[in-house]
Structure 1
Amino acid sequence: MGYCEDIREMIGDSPLIIVRPSVAIINYKEEIFLSQNVDGIWTIPGGTLQLNESVEECITRIVFENIGINIKALKLFGVYSGQELINRVDERYHTVAIGYLCTEYEGEITPESNQGIEAGFFRFNQ
């Protein structure tokens, strides 16, 4: 189990604050990387912070695990929280979202088959 699941076991149904870094990866053509999940929702890479991990380490790990590239540099875009980030499916989770931009990475994107049904770079007007 991960950190959030371990805490959930201890606190039951009480609200839990989770930290969720995400990254907009932009290629040299100024296209953004998006993946479509099994629910049909298009997203940028992101995940949940684990114990003893910095947010930068977290997003770097998530990106490598899910799409196979190494992040070389991150630029903070913004930090978001509040009512609009309470999980709509399970209101026991309140999110602090930390957004990054990345234009420096290496490797070839190879999405994990269980992470999405389609992925790639798209023009912003798509």
Structure 2
Amino acid sequence: MATPDFILDLRTKIGTGPLWLPGVKVVLLHEGSVLLVRRADNGRWTLPAGILEPGEEPAIAAVREVFEETGVRCKVTRLVGVATTDPAVYPNGDRAQYLDVIMAAGYLGGEAHVNDDENLEVGWFGVDGLPDVPPKHARAIEWAREPRAEGHFIAD
């Protein structure tokens, strides 16, 4: 999915200035592998992620983002944690930073494939053989693999 309309509307008012936005990041584990996408804007392998629409529940956004990006159907199983992303500067100069709601999800069905124009590739990777993912994505995967009921957060 392209940039949401509400972001485009904000950009007409503030240009490329920094936006603080709510986002979701999804750790979808299945048979010892994690689902990753290779982003079109920077070529990096990352977890499926995206912006919450105004009023959208994070778990619903997580399921929507995974399907929009990969064609895979999933079900959110738990909240993994809440953290911030690093500031991002997009190729068009737009700047943003996200409050990241990190969710673990289980596989329901579908064959992983590029399902949008935001990604170049989609793939399942063994958790012990991941490509070079950004540090906060690697941290999210580690957090999701821990058998911990409560969510993670950064306190210091």
TM-score category of the 2 structures, normalised to the smaller one: 0.7 to 0.9
C-alpha contact (below 8 Å) 2:69/2:119 kept by paired residues: no
The verdict on how the C-alpha distance between 1:14 and 1:73 changes in structure 2, with shifts beyond 3 A counting, is closer
Q: Does 1:36 align with 2:62?
A: no
The alignment's C-alpha RMSD in Å is 2.2
- Do residues 18 (structure 1) and 21 (structure 2) align? yes
Identity %: 24
Determine if contact 1:85/1:96 at 8 Å carries over to the other structure.
no
Structure 1 CA distance for aligned equivalents of residues 52 and 111 of structure 2: 24
Q: Which runs of 4+ in 1 moved over 4 A?
A: 88-91
1:91 positional shift: 7.5
Pair 1:5-2:8 in alignment = yes
Output one character per residue of 1:65-103: Cα deviation in whole Å (capped at 9) or x when no partner.
Answer: 12112222331111112xx62225557422111111112
Distance 2:104 2:28 in 1: 6
Q: What TM-score do the two structures reach when normalised by structure 2?
A: 0.67
Report the number of matched residues: 123
* Residue 124 (1) aligns with residue 114 (2): no
1:34 partner amino acid: L
What's 1:66 paired with? 69
Q: Helix, strand or coil: the match of 1:19?
A: strand
Change (3 A) 1:14 1:35: closer
Change in CA separation of 1:110 and 1:125 when aligned onto 2, cut-off 3 Å: same
Structure 1 residues 21 and 113: CA distance shift in structure 2, 3 A:
closer
Structure 2: stretches of 5+ with no match in the other structure? 130-156
